[in-house]
Structure 1
Amino acid sequence: MSSSRRSRWLLLSAYQADSHAYWAAWLPRAFPAIDWRVLTLPGRHFKWRIRGNPLSWLGEIEAASRDIDGIIATSMVDLATLRGLCPALARVPNIYYFHENQFAYPVGPQQTPSVEPQLVQLYGALAADQIVFNSRWNAQSFLTGVDELLQRMPDAVPGGLRARLEPRIQVLPVPVEPVISPEASPRDPRLIVWNHRWEYDKAPAFFAAAMHRLAEQGVMFRLALLGARPATPPAPLTELAEQFPSRIVANGRVDRATYEALLAQSGIAVSTALHEFQGIGMLEAVSAGAIPLVPDALVYPEQFAATYRYPPGDIEAFIERIATWLVNPPASPAIDRWLVPSVKPQWAALINRFS
């Protein structure tokens, strides 16, 4: 690269939802000295998106890829196919970033299991120069999933795929911007915040059942029901809104300032997730001073001590912990290694290595 021009990078995000959009907006903002060329696709129509992104970008990718020095693509991108369709990409160093992996993503009640998304990510990883995961759990579950997939195949299965992949793997989180609690925002130790998507993979029915049980026991609490929800609200959310209107201080997606103020006021932030590869919402809440209560599974053992974890699916343990904390809360844990000041230098080192 000539020293007379800025480094040029192509950023590809084929499913711009939640953490994907958060990360794709952060990178150009954090490294403005790079000339970023960004291609994204909306976070909807999952099956078409993960398989069809090379077609969707066919008219743009050649122009965007001219005279570039590096590529960062999310694992929703069919990197192997893109490199085949656009030979110029095959000669450019690339980083393949896993926000999630399809081997460990739970199948929804209306979904049919398919190996297609898994193969897209496997081929992408094999085609990548550097494979980056946002957590150890993400990396480990991907490698385990690859092993299990190959064991199910009938014949002509290659050996040594894990040995090909492991040397190129690095763990590097999405950097979380810490939420600074304003002095004028007093904390409400009885305010419980849910700031996740209201979908099957976050187990909202478990959360709603626990809140009903707490109310039946006469426990005093309030709720901030945040996070994205589908056009037709799920039954657990509707039931909470109908049965506890006086306890709910917020219900819906709110602007960023209001969101941060609610996190700063909250006493407890909960997760009942069936999958979580990093959990930006929970990390944001804890950065604002809320106490996390999370399953003892998935990414959470990397983030929080056993004090803050409950046995997955154990509603009795979940209820008992909240009831205790509403009266006698522990200190909120430190999560510095997941925040921008700690993670940004690691991203800078990775990008510089490929520039």
Structure 2
Amino acid sequence: MTRRILLLSAYQADSHAWWTGWLQQAFPEIEWRLLTLPGRHFKWRIRGNPLSWLDQIEAASEGVDRVIATSMVDLATLRGLYPPLAGLPTDYYFHENQFAYPVGPDQRPSLEPQIVQLYGALAADRLLFNSEWNRTSFLEGVGTLLRRMPDAVPSRIVERLAPRAHVVPVPITPVESAPSSAADHGQRVDRDPRLILWNHRWEYDKAPEVFAEALLALADRGVEFRLALLGGRPARTPAALARIEEALSDRIVANGRVPRADYDALLRRAGIVLSTAIHEFEGLGMLEATAAGATPLVPDALVYPEQYPAVHRYPAGDAGALAARLADWLAHSPPAAPDVSAWTATALRPRWAAMLDGA
């Protein structure tokens, strides 16, 4: 008998789209009913998704056996507006949680996104997280929020949620060691130990200013290096990127989003892949680059201690320490890339299969 699963993704950003696509590709025996909304207008999305789906949810959920909703879905409200959903086994998947998401420079802290996720967690049967850091920071954040409640505080909410909270990461698919066309023509993709790869969004939560400070300090020391500056960026060039482009233009070998084949080639070519993030719940880009053979250098915080040994971590937010570590690696060659095979689709598919079976 064909299983039918309703998959709800209310903020279909790149990593969310990869995840929904992978589920459908990895489990073709399941009939997937997919409802998504574009990854923009955050405040409207996290509160307005039940309205956006109001005229679609009945047909989409007809005959389904299970619901999987991302934590951007206002699940409690959606169930209230369409009560038949409340009778279906439901998993609430956290790509991120709003309790540990840093507030931007032009933003004010808001209680609403946190409440949406707390109500969604209470409404769901299981809570699934892409990392232990995500799980732990969510539960700690819930506890902190409840301690701020002025009165009428329910008891043991964290204790009720914790047994239902499990870690099931989004998998990566490692790039091939060499593309088939290159292999057919006997070509090699040589590793450049002095090529530093940045493959993150150029936004505040990735702290690109720390990256810029470290690079400029490295250049002042006379260290030779090259740069691949990838990842999405806003229409207006961020200040950190502008500083790098102005001061280090002769070192940049790639700048901006590139086709997937070119991106994979840069992963195979880069010697070092670097993060300065102040928000990372899994870090698929870092994992992909590491799986391709680039040596990661990451803050000693967030999800990274779960993934990378201490030799690959530096004090979070410390541009001086980052520059010093890079200078040392570029002078004496970086350590080998660690094994991240535990985050590959091959390793994680059995865990996802068990979860989809309700185990």
TM over 0.5: yes
Q: Is 1:176 paired with 2:172?
A: yes
- Check whether the contact 1:190–1:326 (CA below 8 A) recurs between aligned residues: yes
Q: Is 1:66 paired with 2:62?
A: yes
Query: Which whole-Å CA distance do the structure 1 matches of 2:42 and 2:61 have between them?
Result: 25
- The code of the aligned residue for 1:256 comes to R
Mark the runs of 5 or more structure 1 residues left unpaired by the alignment: none
Residue 180 of structure 1: how far off its partner (Å): 2.1
Query: What is aligned with 2:224?
Result: 220
Query: Which whole-Å CA distance do the structure 1 matches of 2:169 and 2:149 have between them?
Result: 32
Query: What is aligned with 1:22?
Result: 18
Local SS of the residue matching 2:202:
coil
Residue 44 of structure 1: how far off its partner (Å): 0.5
- Check whether the contact 2:133–2:281 (CA below 8 A) recurs between aligned residues: yes
- The code of the aligned residue for 2:341 comes to D
- Check whether the contact 1:181–1:261 (CA below 8 A) recurs between aligned residues: no
Query: What is aligned with 1:199?
Result: 203
Query: What is aligned with 2:136?
Result: 140
Query: What is aligned with 2:74?
Result: 78
How many residues align structurally? 350
Q: Is 1:316 paired with 2:349?
A: no
CA offsets, 1:161-190, max 9 Å, x none?
011101111101001111222162100000
Q: Is 1:271 paired with 2:275?
A: yes
Local SS of the residue matching 2:195:
strand
Query: What is aligned with 2:303?
Result: 299
- The code of the aligned residue for 1:137 comes to W
- The code of the aligned residue for 2:75 comes to L
Mark the runs of 5 or more structure 2 residues left unpaired by the alignment: none
Local SS of the residue matching 1:59:
coil
Residue 86 of structure 1: how far off its partner (Å): 0.8
Q: Of residues 26, 38, 43 in structure 2, which corresponds to 1:42?
A: 38
Local SS of the residue matching 2:357:
helix
Query: Which whole-Å CA distance do the structure 2 matches of 1:158 and 1:85 have between them?
Result: 24
Q: Is 1:9 paired with 2:9?
A: no
Which region of structure 1 is more displaced relative to structure 2, 264-273 or 235-244? 235-244
Residue 338 of structure 1: how far off its partner (Å): 0.9
Q: Of residues 327, 337, 351 in structure 1, which corresponds to 2:342?
A: 337
Query: What is aligned with 1:352?
Result: 357
Which region of structure 1 is more displaced relative to structure 2, 40-49 or 229-238? 229-238
- TM-score, structure 1 as length reference: 0.97
Local SS of the residue matching 2:48:
helix
CA offsets, 1:12-47, max 9 Å, x none?
000011211111111101100101010000111000
Query: Which whole-Å CA distance do the structure 2 matches of 1:101 and 1:203 have between them?
Result: 19
Query: What is aligned with 1:280?
Result: 284
Query: Which whole-Å CA distance do the structure 1 matches of 2:52 and 2:235 have between them?
Result: 26
Query: Which whole-Å CA distance do the structure 1 matches of 2:105 and 2:79 have between them?
Result: 35
What pairs with 1:77-96 in structure 2 (closer than 5 Å)? 77-96=73-92
Query: Which whole-Å CA distance do the structure 2 matches of 1:78 and 1:8 have between them?
Result: 21
Query: What is aligned with 2:48?
Result: 52
Query: Which whole-Å CA distance do the structure 2 matches of 1:55 and 1:233 have between them?
Result: 34
Which region of structure 1 is more displaced relative to structure 2, 218-227 or 309-318? 309-318
- TM-score, structure 2 as length reference: 0.96
